[in-house]
Amino acid sequence: MNQYKIALLAGDGIGPEIMREAVKVLKAIEARHRDVQFELQPALFGAAAYFETGKAFPQETMQICDAADAILKGTIGLSHEESQKIPVDEQPERGALLPMRRRYNTFANFRPVYLPKELAFFSPLKEDIIGDGIDFMIIRELVGGLYFGEKVTGINEQGKRYVKETLEYNEDQIKAIVTVAFETAQSRKKVLHNIHKSNVLKSSVLWNEVVSEVAVDYPDVEVKHILVDAAATYLCLNPGQFDVMVMENMFGDILSDEGGGILGSLGLMPSACVGPEKSYYEPSHGSAPDIAGQNIANPYSMIGSVAMMLDMSFGMKKEAHNLWQAMRAVFAAGYCTPDLAKGKNVKLIKTDEFGDMVVAEL
């Protein structure tokens, strides 16, 4: 019997709704596998946790996560206005998400940007740009750079407010993520796009040095260097040229959301945040407070995160594959949630119906 403890952090906004569908799917998989047991442990996280306990990442949640084999996270965050009601350092991103990333050192963030040809209509891009579909992997460094560097705020000699924050990397951090990227490239098309800004940032100069050093061990992988701004252009003009992309934290934040843009929705962006000992899985998108509670958010990114967890944390490759297939089958049958419909001739379904259909397909 394989028993897996999974911490469930539903979070804020649409988090609880899409988490419900993830749980549904996990239960269905469990029911079909006598030798697998998922021990699901919900815990408070994010703004919801803050309002209930005064902490966005409460002690009890930490303990549950510490004891878990993997963590499944929903979405966190409030609207710009609501956020202001929470002290800056307890706002869910600074108070919960970043501390979690740091606590488990989840340095390797995998963000697949994937759209099969038959779903090209979801995308804002023209069909001739999409060609045979979109399929690349963004690998983002997740625990360094501007996100975790020192931040100083104060008043300068002229009596003016100022902020200084630090973008910091050392060669070990870069080597770790770049190695993951080379490994991934080797297992795919053997082309690695290295995203940098070495014409301005000294951190990119070091980054590129390390890329060249690690490259020696992967002679079969072709490295292509591309400036982050050029990458932002080419994601729109010719996404088909990319297979594996590696980049530092902030660049990864922006370009992966651009990736969601070219797919047609951030709702199509699951992700894995992998650390040396523990990993957590989450949609790449925010908590969409504007549509929360309406049962219309697409749970694809959440269920996709489950698939990534099955694959990467539990070695259940076949089940992961089946789950992706099941989601594609739902779309292929002409169903989709309103956010993706784009006025196309599809059968509109709700969040929970999507989950039910995926389970039925499984």
Ligand X SMILES: CC(C)[C@H](C(=O)O)[C@@H](O)C(=O)O
Which residues in this chain contact a second copy in the complex, by CB under 8 A?
A: 77, 80, 83, 88, 91, 93-94, 98, 124-126, 128-129, 146-147, 149, 151, 153, 156, 158, 160-172, 197, 199-203, 205-206, 209, 225, 227-230, 232-237, 250-251, 253-258, 260-262, 264-266, 286, 342-343
What is the residue whose two structure tokens read 């002690």?
59
Instruction: Decide if 290 is catalytic.
Output: no
Q: Name which of 28 and 96 has its Cβ closer to ligand X.
A: 96
> What residues contact 205, with CB distance under 8 A and at least 6 apart?
198
SS3 label, residue 187: helix
> What residues contact 190, with CB distance under 8 A and at least 6 apart?
220, 221, 222
31 binds, among ligand X, a second copy, none (CB under 5 to 8 A by kind): none
Q: Which amino acid is at 47?
A: A
166 binds, among ligand X, a second copy, none (CB under 5 to 8 A by kind): a second copy
Catalytic member of 117, 162, 202, 229: 229
- How far, CA to CA in Å, does 216 sit from each of 212, 219, 325? 7, 6, 37
- Enter the tokens of residue 267: 């709702």
Ramachandran region of residue 201, left (φ > 0), alpha (ψ -120 to 50) or beta? beta
- Enter the tokens of residue 132: 């045979």
What x-and-dash track marks residues 98-137 binding ligand X by CB under 6 A? ----------------------------------------
What is the residue whose two structure tokens read 């990442």?
57
Q: Alpha-carbon dihedral of residues 164, 170, 176, 179, nearest 10 degrees?
A: 110
Q: Name which of 17 and 253 has its Cβ closer to ligand X.
A: 253
Which of 97, 262, 272, 306 forms a contact with ligand X (CB under 6 A)? 97
Catalytic member of 243, 253, 311, 339: 253
Q: Name which of 252 and 355 has its Cβ closer to a second copy.
A: 252
Which of 106, 184, 284, 313 forms a contact with ligand X (CB under 6 A)? 284
Which of 12, 141, 243, 253 forms a contact with ligand X (CB under 6 A)? 253
Residue 272: DSSP 8-state: E
Say how many Å lie between the first and final Cα of the chain, rounded: 21
Burial class (CB in 10 A: 0-12, 13-18, 19+), 347: exposed
Instruction: Decide if 229 is catalytic.
Output: yes
What's the closest the beta carbon of residue 117 comes to ligand X, in angstroms?
27
Instruction: Decide if 197 is catalytic.
Output: yes
Instruction: Decide if 257 is catalytic.
Output: yes
What's the closest the beta carbon of residue 228 comes to ligand X, in angstroms?
9
Which of 229, 293, 318, 321 forms a contact with ligand X (CB under 6 A)? 229
Q: What angle do CA 185, 188, 191 make, to 5 degrees?
A: 50
Instruction: Decide if 339 is catalytic.
Output: no
What's the closest the beta carbon of residue 164 comes to a second copy, in angstroms?
5
Please report, as ranges, the residues that interact with ligand X according to CB under 6 A. Answer: 77, 93, 97, 199-200, 229, 253, 284
